[in-house]
Structure 1
């Protein structure tokens, strides 16, 4: 999930149950890093956080398990990226 979703994850119905059911991979998003990394899920499951170097094995870990991945961001909007994928001209 994107870090922007993790920042509000505690508002999801059954969020703690979800975290106990499946390992979670969080990808950084512009402006959401600190909120996500310091949010309620991060605090509640701090002992279950894996280092970014363990991202490839996260899906195979026993929940709760989660990893935060820093990522390079693309300056294009999602709409522009989808248009580019359809072969349309995109002006930045």
Structure 2
């Protein structure tokens, strides 16, 4: 049971919708994030995309991270002209630290909402290092979007191999929202090659 009233209101507004959830540090948010969100809205026929700004990525050093408020503000600025992209601090409201726990809370407390976890191919490569990563596959359907130079490594990695039989065809990706987990799709859509790391060190715009 979610106790935080703001979190309850946020989930109540999602009733009956298909929500594509994109977690990340957004350190800072950049056009690559926006490209994925817009593709997700179209390819998955999602009603909204939630940018779930992480208070602290467990796999990254706090020294690498800008303050949470600054990262959230960068996401809000980038999404300001897109009403179907919602920037959220839901993990702060829920008090969760791992994606598996956050998704579990969302699914358990919004049973009439269809959630799709969205991530880039770069994250799929190391997905087996995430806490309770198999639980995530078994809890929600997943959409993976290609990023330049990552597809081969992503599709041959431990997570992709473990759930290879549950992979859905790309041309059926719009039906993913009606599937039961575990089910996932890999979109070979060309995307912006920018990364937050490159932007922080002045290598991208």
Normalised by the shorter chain, which TM-score bucket? 0.7 to 0.9
CA offset digits 1:18-65 (Å, max 9, x no partner): 000000000001121011111111111111000101110112211100
TM-score norm. by structure 2 comes to 0.37
Equivalent residue, structure 2, for 1:38? 156
Any gaps of 5 or more consecutive residues in structure 1? 80-91
Say if 2:181 is the partner of 1:59: no
Residue 78 of structure 1 deviates from its aligned partner by 5.6
Report the 3-state secondary structure (helix = DSSP H, G, I; strand = E; otherwise coil) of the residue aligned with 1:67: strand
Deviating above 6 A after TM superposition, structure 1's stretches of 4 or more consecutive aligned residues are none
Q: Going by fraction, where is strand more abundant, 1 or 2? A: 2
Number of residue equivalences: 80
Equivalent residue, structure 2, for 1:21? 139
State the Cα RMSD in Å: 1.8
Any gaps of 5 or more consecutive residues in structure 2? 1-118, 197-204
- Choose between structure 1 and 2 for higher RCO, CA contacts under 8 A separated by at least 6 residues: 1
Say if 2:124 is the partner of 1:6: yes
**Structure 1 pair 34–59 and aligned structure 2 pair: CA distance change class (3 A):** same
What is the alpha-carbon distance in structure 1 between the residues aligned to residue 159 and residue 178 of structure 2?
Answer: 20
Equivalent residue, structure 1, for 2:190? 72
Report the 3-state secondary structure (helix = DSSP H, G, I; strand = E; otherwise coil) of the residue aligned with 1:18: helix
Contact between 2:147 and 2:192, CA under 8 Å: does it hold in 1?
Answer: no
TM-score norm. by structure 1 comes to 0.78
